[in-house]
């Protein structure tokens, strides 16, 4: 009898272990990348570069394939390892949560980054994901510099590298967006830099340092933002070759303010107020290898003095909405590698690099626009410039690179409807006001809906208590109202989220994105093809849902100890941090729920 019980217990334990690993069954061979070097020194790359492309749908890798050069995306796919079925596993799929998920290896339910903004019940107002009024800007006197990672509740893989090396490793974040720099760089970062459209400079905050390093000051003094806006944005190739995109002038694209139509060429000097530069080979925006539409070579450093000194105050905040926002991001990243000697100091460093202009352009023009295609063709050249620099400064095969995206994007509803495909847009303010009016009619006057953010309803709990209405009952009423609205697939109360558990499907996304201290009382799911619009008719696109076009993103590893290959096995973005931990012999981030992707570690 004892033997029978022992066998039964062993079978039960084995079955439990199988259930825990059934989510993704991958080979478990020992990793050659995880073994110490023969000399006894621990084998680590000299530099890790994490590249996050904002709003990059997975299919962009192949949609523009024939027009990419050989040194950017094609090099990653041709020499690296691609996970072809990588998805996010939570909602909302926004920039802040995406960057946090990549670097913490955890969903918002654990890392606390539930959106780019959320409603704070303690203060009765919305807060921004990296907002921190306890710090001051460095390089900027405004609110743009009052930022830090304090809202993020867990460590990042970059934090773990700093801890493992007794803070000798350098970790630097670079991005146009503050949240795209700050969250990946982590709490213990050496520095994080982001763009201030008010002064056209890269800035930081006192969370990291009291003053900008001399190299950043000198970089800002070059005035690249002004110079990149001093020339018209034309297509990189003849416009007739952009056969992967819709015609240039369609109703669902948004024009720049001051433009009559959203068409090429985009006269950036006229739009931004930056005086036009003299057009010659020395002052065209972009890397030296770039070929402008007029066939002239482009220089990485525009000619000094091309912009008159007495120019009126320009709108330098326009730069991120052009592909040259990615150009200046690469410029700063390469200068950081040089000035900080990243990967050249005998210890592993980490550059957290995010490209944001793809998101700005995507929001304005939509995934099927020539503007988006042109932005990706130019980004491909930026990647080439980056990889060539890494080869020369750090050494071929000495940098571990991964590339992914913080979310995808939906097609523009009018584009889909023009092709008889189901789609639509809802207005967040309309949904909020409709719900508010219904509750007033049922329960009397009062501010029943405090906020509608991230497809979540924040109810006035104090008012409900005063009216002797149970919060659970009020939330159920809200569910019944919301599911009747156009474009809404379903709604669920927060109480149901907390009392249940889902391993897959739509409700799993809600559960993984729910952190009770920051989320609402009712969570809403939109129909496939529908999204929240902030103007009507809806222009461009957005993202945020649990459908594949928002969750499916590229995941490429390249460089140090990475063999060429690809996998169709389903993987999740939270697995990236766990995989990096295995590559680098680090403890996983404190809230990490991902697993190492052993196929790339073989």
Q: 210-221: per-residue pLDDT in tens? A: 999 999 999 999
State the pLDDT confidence band at 41, using cuts at 50, 70 and 90.
Answer: confident
Q: For residue 236, name the pLDDT band (cuts at 50, 70, 90).
A: very high
SS3 408: coil
CA distance 427 to 431: 6
pLDDT of 295-337, one tens digit each? 232 223 333 333 333 346 899 999 999 999 999 999 999 999 9
* Mean local confidence (pLDDT), 547-553: 98
* CA pair distance 324, 308, nearest whole angstrom: 20
What are 458's two structure tokens?
């924040």
**Residue bearing tokens 């691609």:** 82
Buried b (16+ CB within 10 A) or exposed e, 262-299: bbbebbbbebbbbbbbeeeebbbbbbeebebbeeeebb
CA atoms within 13 A on the CB side of 390: 28
Has residue 381 got a pLDDT over 60?
yes
Residue % of the chain over a pLDDT of 90: 85
Q: How many CA atoms lie within 13 A of 203 on its CB side?
A: 25
Which residue in 93, 95, 155, 593 is the catalytic one? 95
At 512, the pLDDT band (50, 70, 90 cuts) reads very high
Instruction: Give the H or E element holding residue 457.
Output: strand 456-459
What integer pLDDT is reported at residue 278 of this predicted model? 59
pLDDT at 302: 32
Mean pLDDT for the chain overall = 90
Question: pLDDT band at residue 536, thresholds of 50, 70 and 90?
Answer: confident
For the chain, give the percent of residues with pLDDT over 70.
Answer: 88
Cβ-count burial of 436 within 10 angstroms (0-12 exposed, 13-18 middle, 19+ buried)?
middle
pLDDT at 37: 52
Helical H segments across 22-120, by residue range: 60-63, 73-79, 95-104, 108-111
Quickly tell me which residue has 């800007």 as its tokens.
Answer: 137
pLDDT at 567: 98
330 tagged catalytic: no
Q: What's the whole-model pTM score?
A: 0.89
- Predicted local distance difference test score (pLDDT) of residue 287: 38
Under the banding of pLDDT at 50, 70 and 90, the label for residue 180 is very high
Q: How confident is the model at residue 593 (pLDDT cuts 50, 70, 90)?
A: very high
User: DSSP state, 321?
Assistant: G
Distance CA 272, CA 226 (A): 9
pLDDT of 141 reads: 86
**What pLDDT was estimated at residue 39?**
59
């Amino acid at each position: 009898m004892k033997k029978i019980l022992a066998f039964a217990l062993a079978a039960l334990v084995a079955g439990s272990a199988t259930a825990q690993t059934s989510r993704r069954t991958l080979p478990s061979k020992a990793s050659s990348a995880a073994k110490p070097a023969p000399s006894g020194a621990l084998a680590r790359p000299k530099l890790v570069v994490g590249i996050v492309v904002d709003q990059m749908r997975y299919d962009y890798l192949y949609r523009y394939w024939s027009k990419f050069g050989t040194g950017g995306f094609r090099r990653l796919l041709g020499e690296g390892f691609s996970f072809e079925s990588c998805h996010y596993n939570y909602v909302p799929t926004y920039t802040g949560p995406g960057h946090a998920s990549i670097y913490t290896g955890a969903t918002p339910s654990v890392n606390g980054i539930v959106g780019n903004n959320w409603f704070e019940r303690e203060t009765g107002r919305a807060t921004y994901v990296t907002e921190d009024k306890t710090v001051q800007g460095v390089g900027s006197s405004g609110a743009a510099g009052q930022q830090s990672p304090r809202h993020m509740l867990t460590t990042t893989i970059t934090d773990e590298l700093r801890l493992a090396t007794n803070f000798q490793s350098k970790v630097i974040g670079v991005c146009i967006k503050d949240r795209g720099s700050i969250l990946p760089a982590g709490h213990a970062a050496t520095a994080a830099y982001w763009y201030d459209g008010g002064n056209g400079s890269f800035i930081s905050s006192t969370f990291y340092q009291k003053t900008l390093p001399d190299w950043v000051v000198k970089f800002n003094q070059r005035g690249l933002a002004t110079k990149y806006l001093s020339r018209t944005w034309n297509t990189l190739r003849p416009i007739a070759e952009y056969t992967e995109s819709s015609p240039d002038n369609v109703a669902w694209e948004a024009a720049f303010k001051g433009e009559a139509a959203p068409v090429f060429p985009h006269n950036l000097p006229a739009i931004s107020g930056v005086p036009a530069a003299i057009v010659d080979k020395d002052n065209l925006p972009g890397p030296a290898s770039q070929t402008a539409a007029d066939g002239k070579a482009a220089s990485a450093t525009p000619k000094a003095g091309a912009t008159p000194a007495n120019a009126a105050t320009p709108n330098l905040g326009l730069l991120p909405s052009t592909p040259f926002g990615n150009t200046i991001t690469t410029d700063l990243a390469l200068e950081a590698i040089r000035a900080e000697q990243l990967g050249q100091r005998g210890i592993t460093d980490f550059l957290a690099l995010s490209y944001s202009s793809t998101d700005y352009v995507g929001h304005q023009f939509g995934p099927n626009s020539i503007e988006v295609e042109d932005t990706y063709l130019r980004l491909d050249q930026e990647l080439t410039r980056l990889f060539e620099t890494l080869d020369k400064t750090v050494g071929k095969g000495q940098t571990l690179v991964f590339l992914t995206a913080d979310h995808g994007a939906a097609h523009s509803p009018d584009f889909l409807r023009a092709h008889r495909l189901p789609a639509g847009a809802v207005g967040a303010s309309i949904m909020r006001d409709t719900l508010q009016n219904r509750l007033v009619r049922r329960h009397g006057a009062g501010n029943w809906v405090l906020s509608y953010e991230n497809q979540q309803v924040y109810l006035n709990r104090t008012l409900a208590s005063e009216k002797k209405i149970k919060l659970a009952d009020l939330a159920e009423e809200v569910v019944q109202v919301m599911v009747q609205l156009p474009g809404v697939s379903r709604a669920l109360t927060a109480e149901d989220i907390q009392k249940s558990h889902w391993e897959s499907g739509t409700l799993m996304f809600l559960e993984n994105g729910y952190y009770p201290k920051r989320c609402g009382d009712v969570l809403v799911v939109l129909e496939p093809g529908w999204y929240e619009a902030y103007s009507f008719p809806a222009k461009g696109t957005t993202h945020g849902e649990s459908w594949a076009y928002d969750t499916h993103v590229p995941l490429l590893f390249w460089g140090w100890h990475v063999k060429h290959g690809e996998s169709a096995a389903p993987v999740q973005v939270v697995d990236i941090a766990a995989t990096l931990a295995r590559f680098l012999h680090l403890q996983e981030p404190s809230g990490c729920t991902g697993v190492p992707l052993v196929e790339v570690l073989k």
